[in-house]
Each structure stands twice: as structure tokens, then as C-alpha cells.
Structure 1
Amino acid sequence: MKNIAIIGSGFSSLASACHLAKAGYNVTILEKNSTLGGRARKYEKEGFKFDMGPTWYWMPDVFEKFFKDFNKKPSDYYELERLSPAYQVYFGKEDSITIPGTLNEIYEVFEKEEPGSSKHLKSFLDSAKFNYEVAINDLVYKPGESISELINFTTLSKANQFFTSISSTVRKRIKNHKLQQILEFPVLFLGAKPSNTPSFYNFMNYADFGLGTWHPKGGMYEVVNGFVNLAKELGVGILTNQNVEKIVVENGVVKGVNSNSKFIQSDIVISGADYHHSETLLDKENRMYKEKYWEKKTFAPSALLFYVGFNKKIKNVEHHTLFFDTSFDVHAKDIYDTPKWPKEPLFYASFSSITDNSFAPISKEAATFLIPLAPGLTDIPEVREEYFKKIMNRLEKLTGQSLKDEVVFKESYCVNDFVKDYNSYKGNAYGLANTLFQTAFLRPKIRSNKVKNLYFTGQLTVPGPGVPPAIISGKIVSDLVIKNSK
């Protein structure tokens, strides 16, 4: 039985561990932190609870497909609730649009904002659904080893969609600026500007409107627990507080890792840690990518997050609320074009305790706030405090209530923390952006071409950022390991 060491315990690592244990390998996960889940950890304080990373549960079919591989289903491990409304978007004081939980209701919302737009939305979503099915069935489960994976009759017929942007497609027919922003927002999960994201990725709009927004009871950490429990049932060994210092290679073949100054023999090593960091664990001659390669890449944003306990329930917000009352385009430029701290940032808030009373004591509110940022910015406490004041002022103004004096506590998390906790390149939060030239076979390789039996998984390789893609990445790498071990 071959030994496999997996570095990290994020969704991609947990997924690959489950698949490989099922295939008969002896699998051990080595996690740097004291808790599991990578970026999807939880934070608890004074009776409040927060999902530290992902808060959106989209693409439920990917989770179902994962568990089905083990003759299980998500409900064996956690309980799901479809959110209705799905989310709310603020564009100004007393100017917000609430996205309902069903398609017919969404068409009504669009029609009310822009007469005739529902017809265009239906056409757009028909294309988005088709692209989603093509992506899920033909593309995203491929290992990204060659361009041939992308080429078939269906994708050739859609080739023009790889050379036009989401932004141009949306704006061609829908003229209402607020509706445009709602349709462009889901691609932010892919880590790039809508104007730089191929229109083929409109399948994210089908994930949004068609498949819906869900909430796992108890939060996203219950999903992590589900994956961890399945892994344990399959015999996966899990070690926490493991500082992997080196991936050990002899004569071009991986031999194991040094962790906490001890050698752990492994026939195969998979790193679900930050890809750039993973390569620094190798001697230079065994690295595939030089520093210049990473410097030229377009990274998905970092983030400034606040985990806040409020002493009262908050009015006029939904579980997921987006604050788009400032310029989307200007903020995007501050992330991607001329990286700097945004003057008037857009921000997102999750008020999970609106749906789930396990997140906060009775009559109180747990809130997570997120401001997308360029990776690599100078992160100091004074700047964090300045931005907390900015978003609190806007939250009060937009929702018409006094909240500053109701803050029980706040904790912040930013660039320096992503580096410290996850060895994240420049403190990025979401990995490598899915732009045209960073798609599929153009992403960092899932298998090392320098070291035999060394593999990578997660958001910097295929298929890309987000929880469902991370789960898929775990499946891809495990399939490749099994294929190459025969």
C-alpha cells in the first residue's frame, strides 16, 4: 500500500484524501494550523460564531456529486436550507434590489427595474445553463495538461465566448446599471474583473439564479466537518500543528516531507497549500516556476474582513447583503490595474444569524464584513480601523439605524493574516484569477514535470477559485494519481 502525504486540509486536500483513501492508499493529511478546513475555518467568541472564509454555498450539485462517489449524500453530514431571498444589493439609501429564491420571481424583479429585460435575462440564462452543463460535464474535471481537453464540437461552437467578456455580453442587451452589476457580480468569485472574464463564465449566473443560494445549518464549517468525518471513516490520518519545512526529493523522485523537523516517508506528495509556497519547499532545481512567473500572474483579490458581534438585531438587511453604493469600476481598478487601498470600497456582509440562531446569542447579530483588496498591500492596524469606520458609517446611513455603539467586539483579518496562517502569496484570499490566459491548461500544472510523484491541488491550479472548484480540484488530482500509479 502506497503512502500519500497531503499538505493542508482545505476542501481540495480533504476531497483528494477521501478519493485516494477509497482507492486503497494510505493517506495522511498534514495541517499547519490547529483546526481543519484551511480558509474555511470558524471563529467563536462570547457566544458568537463566524465562518472565517467562504460564506456562500453555491453549486450544490458539485457537493452532491462528491458525496455520491462514496455512496453518501450531503444530508448524511449536514442540513441545507435554500435561502429566499438569496441576497440583497444596496445601491444607495433606500435604493436596494432583493434577489428572490426562484427564477420566476427574479424575472419579475428585472422586469420591474427595466421593462423588457426579463426576456433578455431568460435568453442569457439559457446560454448560462448550457455553458454550466458543458463546463461541469466536459471541462472542469479535466487535469489541465493540454489544450486538447478544451477542444470538442461543443466548445468549438462556443469559441467566440472565450474572446468576448461577461461585461460586454451583459451590457449589450440590459441597459439598467443596477441590473448590469447584479449580473456581473458572480464572476467576482472567479477573481477577475467582468471586463476581463470570458463570457463563457456566465455559467456562474446559472449557479446564482438557477441553482440558488443555500445555507448549511451551523455554517460552512459544518460542511468542512462533513468532509473531515468522511475522510476519517475512510481511514485518512489527520495531523494538525504540522509545519512542513521541506518536500524531500532524491534523483528527481519525491521521498516524503520534513514536518516539525521529522521526516515523513511518502511515495506520493500532494500539496493543497499555496502553490507558490509549496514550490519554495523544494530545492530550486526542482521548481517548475520562477519568481518572475508568479509576479506576472493576475491574482484574485485579497480581503479585509471584520468579524463583528452586535448587541442587537440589524434591520433592513438580508443574510447576504452587498453594498454597491460606490463605483464598481473604480474599486476594480484599485484591485487589478493600479493596486492601492480603495478610497470608496464596495463591501459585502454576511448576517448569518438572520437565518441561523446558532451564530449569535438571542436578540444579537453576528456579522462578517468583507472588502476585496489588491494582494500585497501594506497592512497596518491604523488602516484596518479607518476602513471599519468607513463601512460602519455607510451601513448606518444605507440601512437607517444606529449601530456603532452596539458593537460588542470586532476582530479583523487581512493581508498579513493570510500570509501568516496560509502562506498565501502576497496575502491573496482566492488564488489565481480565471482570466482567458489563466484558464484550464494555462494555469499552474497539477502534476510536477520536475519531480516524479509530486502533485498540486487547490485554487492556484485547475479549475480555479471557490469551494466547488476546490472540491473538483481534489477529484482531478486523485484521478491523476490513481492513473499514474497503475
Structure 2
Amino acid sequence: MSRTVVIGGGFAGLATAGLLAKDGHDVVLLEQQETLGGRSGRWSAQGFRFDTGPSWYLMPEVIDRWFRLMGSGADQELDLRQLTPGYRTFFERHLDSEPVDVVSGEAGELFEQLDPGSGKALQRYLESGAEVYELAKKYFLYTNFTKPLELMTPEVLKNLPRLGALLSDSMEGYIAKRFPDPRERQILGYPAVFLGAAPDSAPAMYHLMSHLDLTDGVQYPQGGFAALVDAMERLVREAGVEIVTGATVTGIDVSSSGQFPPRLGRRRGAVTGVRYRLEDGTQEREAASVVVGATDLHHLQTELLPQPFRAPESRWKRRDPGPSGVLVCLGVRGKLPELVHHNLLFTADWLDNFARIAEGKELADETSMYVCMTSATDPGSAPDGDENLFILVPSPAVPEWGRGGIHTAEMNQPGSLQVEKVADAAVAQLARWAGIEDLAERIEVRRTYGPADFVSNVNAWRGSLLGPGHTLTQSALFRPGVSDRGIKGLYYAGSSVRPGIGVPMCLISSEVVLDAVREAAPGEKSAANTAAGSDPDPAVGSPSRPATHIAHPGERTD
């Protein structure tokens, strides 16, 4: 096969490059940063170590599946720890009470304590989430929807009324009908943030997310998500992928081969190569017949493609970029028993909180946020006796808010006024809510990130923190596909396309791309018979059943 170029070294880029290499492609991966990981960044100073991106290890079977396709396994590559409690919650209306710890498998008892009688409602809610999750894995996640009639199975048809109702209702509405207690509604509604959406804009279909943390639990890989990136890199290199870091892609070359219908507004063509610039200014070009853009879709379609092939900017005005965020990394002297590994702070009026984010307004004085303290589980992430804190404050996707700054013993580089203002408020709020009165005085290391950092670091459209949000019109078959409809050999992977946001979704997208590349090459073996160019492994099956072969991810199993 001719050269295959993957643009972007995040989870989707690494995963896709590895699978294509195992399938026989000669693959080169180009990453503009010096380290791999994309949105899963890393930073360290004075003995404190931080993940600056994903931090919730959910859908472990999906991550393990990719490792098995590469001839290994998550248990062989990672040191995974189950978190107990899964997370701690602080509620603005109940700051005079103890925070609420959420333990996997014990949510029913917790809900009975919060609102007697709600345990049975939660059981029904989680059972429904589990059923929808299995349907999603079986029919809607591992597919590019190129053959929609294949979805018309007896199982899908039987569930159509139910699925239709879940799509027409919002998570907020669906939850509110079943749980009157605001604390319960927030515990069940916060996963919408993982989807880049608000509870009142995410379809109720995504109530399946609660099944993932309340039933399956939350794990953590020792060494953080950086350890996951490093493990993937090892396997990808072993598969023969050439990785070039410090390589900024400046253009995708496309040969013209005719005109699209006027309504599509773009020409038809085929990829011929990728141009990029090294850090020393050297200009390079890789000839290629297959190119996978595993980076921000807006950047790819509006900046890297030749002008006649670019998507009009007007098409993007109708899309929702999802929230951005202000990130705060803190190295804190002394222990913080008030916090656990994962912590969630919920404001009383969080719908106003989400509305401010969607409308691009200033955040309120008190805002909902997430705090991660990996040193509670991973002693290597902070000096002995100290703690590391990672604070995520969801914010509007407004790059004009600026970039963050760094404050260490060796450097004092302030960020923009707006980013530092939000960060200062977040530190003060955490101190008040968790009862850590001297938190600010104990900070030895501090680094902040703002929306403009996501633009410069990962080419994020409008500084989006996660990728386009999972609103109804940006979910499942309504989300952009992995194949460019008019440019032969051009594919997309990652959070901008199907199936969507999150580390597991990015890994699934790599399998969808693998299938799309194979379908475009007549005579190649189908992924339904073997995957990643290896012999069938009985330990790796379709997402919904044990396997006797490595099944096509979207294969019907009824």
C-alpha cells in the first residue's frame, strides 16, 4: 500500500495510526506538539505532575478492546485502580452539611438517604441506561451510518418508540420527571458536561452515562492519562508507525477530478499528500493516497484543504462548539483530607450556569466546577506530604478570554486578566466550599489555561474544550462522518466526528476509520473477519458479546 498520513497525535490519531499499520499500511503520524496526547496534555513543575486533559477513565471495555486489537491488553499495559468513592459532591444549598460521596454499586442506598423512596426509581433509571448503552454499542457507536437500512433490525425496530422518546426529551427533563431532589438531579445530570452539552440540551438518550459511573465505577491508571498515551505510543511504534513531533501541518494536497453538485458547494478530488513545517522551519511533504485528519474538523476543512475544497464557514455557524474552560493546575503544600480523587461542586442554579456558558456571558460569582486530586491515588503526582489539584471551570467558547499563565519558583508569567480572574475565583470558591481556609497561602505551583490555549495548542474551533457538543443535531448519524464525501482518500477521526467526544469515543472512531478505508479498497479483507491485520483473537469480540472472531464493530448480533 502507498504511504498513509495521520494528522494529529491525540488518542484518535494514535489509535487510528496503530490499527492502519497493523492492517499493512505504511503510516507516518504528524504531531505539532513535542509530546503526544493532543487534548490529553501533561505538565510538571517542582515535583508536582498534572494531566491537563481527560481524567475520568470510563468505558474500560472500549479501551481494552483497542489494546487487544493491537495484540496486547489494558491489564498488561496499565496499572488500573478502582476509585472508592468514585467522586465527592459539594452542593451550594447544603454547604452546612457533609459533602456527599458517590460509591459505585451503592448509589441506591445513597439516593434513599437523600430522598427516601427514590432508590427504586434509580434502579429503573440505571437499568434503562444499561439497556440503551448496549443498544448504542451494538448499533450506533461502531458505525459510520453508510448503510442505514442495516439498522432496521427487529431489536432496533422494537425499541424505536423508546429511542424516539429519549431523543425528543432532554436529560434535564427526563431526570426531573423521576427525581424531585435537586442533588439527585445534579448527580445524574452532570455527565452532560462530558458530552460538551448542558443537561437541558443533551438528549435523554445519554442517561446511559450514569450507568457507566454509578454501576460500572470509575477507574484510574497509575501515572494518569499520560501513562495511557505512553502505552499507546509504545504499541503504535512497535506496529511500525513513524511518528514525527514538532511537525505543523500546513496543507493537504488534493487533485481535482470534477465538480460536486451545486448544493454541496465543493469540488470533487483525491488526496495526494500532506505538507508540514518542522520546528527549524524546514518545509516537508509526504506523498499519500490516504490521509486521516485526527484533529479539529473545522481546522481541517477550513484551513488545511485547498481553497476550492474547503467547507464554507457558513456551515459552521449552525454548529455548537460545546463549552471551553479555564483550567487551573495547583501544587499545594500539605495534605487536603477535605477532598478525594474526583470532586464536583454544584451551584444551586446550574441551569443559569449552563446558560451563561452557552450565551458567552461572564460566569456568576459561584459556578459549578470539577476538581481532580490524583495525588489521593497516585503518590507520584506530588511530593511526599503534598497534593496536586486540577480545577476545571466550564466556560464560554470565547477565545478572546485569552491564555493562561505560569507561576513557579523559576517562572512568573501571568495569564490574561479574564483567565486569571476566573482562576482566582475558583480557588477562593473551593476554599470556602470545602473548608480549606488557607488554600491560597499553601499554593507553591500554579498554571492556568484559557480558551485561547486550546486554539493554539490543538487548533480547537472557538477554543472548544472537548469538541462539538452532543446536542440532538450533533449526535449519532447527525454528527459528521469519518469519510469526506467528495475527497477520495480523506478520512476524519476524533471528537469532531462520529461517534463523538471522549477518549473511548475517539478509540471507537479509529475502528470506524479502519472499516471505511477497507471499504474503499476492493479486495481487502473485511473487518468482520479479522481486525488490525492479526489473527482472530477469541478474547476480542463485538462490543456486545463474547467473540469467536474479531467482529466488525457495527456487525449485527441479533
The interval holding the TM-score normalised by the smaller chain is over 0.9
Residue 458 of structure 1 deviates from its aligned partner by 0.7
SS in 2 for 1:258: strand
User: Residue 370 of structure 1 aligns to which amino acid in structure 2?
Assistant: L
Structure 1 residue corresponding to 2:506, chosen from 470, 475, 485: 470
Rg bigger for which structure? Answer: 2
Structure 2 residue corresponding to 1:411, chosen from 426, 442, 447: 447
The residue number in structure 2 matching 1:114 is 115
The residue number in structure 1 matching 2:427 is 392
The residue number in structure 2 matching 1:341 is 362
Farther off after superposition, 75-84 or 320-329: 320-329
Q: Distance in 2 between matches of 1:203 and 1:419?
A: 31
The residue number in structure 2 matching 1:5 is 5
Q: TM-score, normalised by structure 1?
A: 0.96
The residue number in structure 2 matching 1:134 is 135
The residue number in structure 1 matching 2:340 is 318
Residue 371 of structure 1 deviates from its aligned partner by 0.6
The residue number in structure 2 matching 1:247 is 252
Contact 2:171 2:189 in 1 (8 A): yes
Residue 284 of structure 1 deviates from its aligned partner by 2.5
Contact 2:483 2:492 in 1 (8 A): yes
Q: Percent identity?
A: 31
Contact 1:312 1:364 in 2 (8 A): yes
Farther off after superposition, 348-357 or 158-167: 158-167
Q: Distance in 1 between matches of 2:513 and 2:147?
A: 15
SS in 2 for 1:88: strand
User: Residue 200 of structure 2 aligns to which amino acid in structure 1?
Assistant: S
Contact 1:196 1:436 in 2 (8 A): yes
Structure 2 residue corresponding to 1:371, chosen from 384, 393, 408: 393
Q: Distance in 2 between matches of 1:168 and 1:325?
A: 18
Q: Distance in 1 between matches of 2:511 and 2:329?
A: 32
**Residue 98 of structure 1 pairs with residue 100 of structure 2:** yes
Runs of 4+ displaced beyond 2 Å? 92-102, 144-156
**Residue 304 of structure 1 pairs with residue 318 of structure 2:** no
Q: TM-score, normalised by structure 2?
A: 0.84
Structure 2 residue corresponding to 1:259, chosen from 276, 285, 294: 276
Q: Distance in 2 between matches of 1:300 and 1:153?
A: 35
Aligned pairs, how many? Answer: 483
Q: Show CA shifts across 1:101-154 (max 9, x none).
A: 331x21111100100101000000010000111111211000144654654443
1:256 and 1:377, CA in 2 relative to 1: closer, same or farther beyond 3 A?
Answer: closer
Residue 378 of structure 1 deviates from its aligned partner by 2.2
**Structure 2 unmatched ranges of 5 or more:** 257-268, 278-282, 403-415, 523-558
Q: Show CA shifts across 1:2-33 (max 9, x none).
A: 21100001111111111111110011100010
Contact 2:399 2:455 in 1 (8 A): no
1:434 and 1:141, CA in 2 relative to 1: closer, same or farther beyond 3 A?
Answer: same
SS in 1 for 2:487: coil
Q: Distance in 1 between matches of 2:424 and 2:41?
A: 26
Q: Distance in 2 between matches of 1:420 and 1:458?
A: 18
Residue 445 of structure 1 deviates from its aligned partner by 2.6
Answer 1 or 2: which has greater helix percent: 1
Q: Distance in 2 between matches of 1:357 and 1:387?
A: 28
**Residue 356 of structure 1 pairs with residue 384 of structure 2:** no
SS in 2 for 1:38: coil
1:474 and 1:94, CA in 2 relative to 1: closer, same or farther beyond 3 A?
Answer: farther
SS in 2 for 1:39: coil
Q: Structure 2 matches for 1:59-458, cutoff 5 A?
A: 59-92=59-92, 93-95=95-97, 97-103=99-105, 105-145=106-146, 147-148=148-149, 151-156=152-157, 157=159, 158-251=163-256, 252-260=269-277, 261-279=283-301, 280-287=303-310, 289-336=311-358, 338-343=359-364, 344-380=366-402, 381-401=416-436, 402-458=438-494
User: Residue 102 of structure 1 aligns to which amino acid in structure 2?
Assistant: S
Contact 1:299 1:431 in 2 (8 A): yes
More contact order relative to length (CA 8 Å, sep ≥ 6): 1
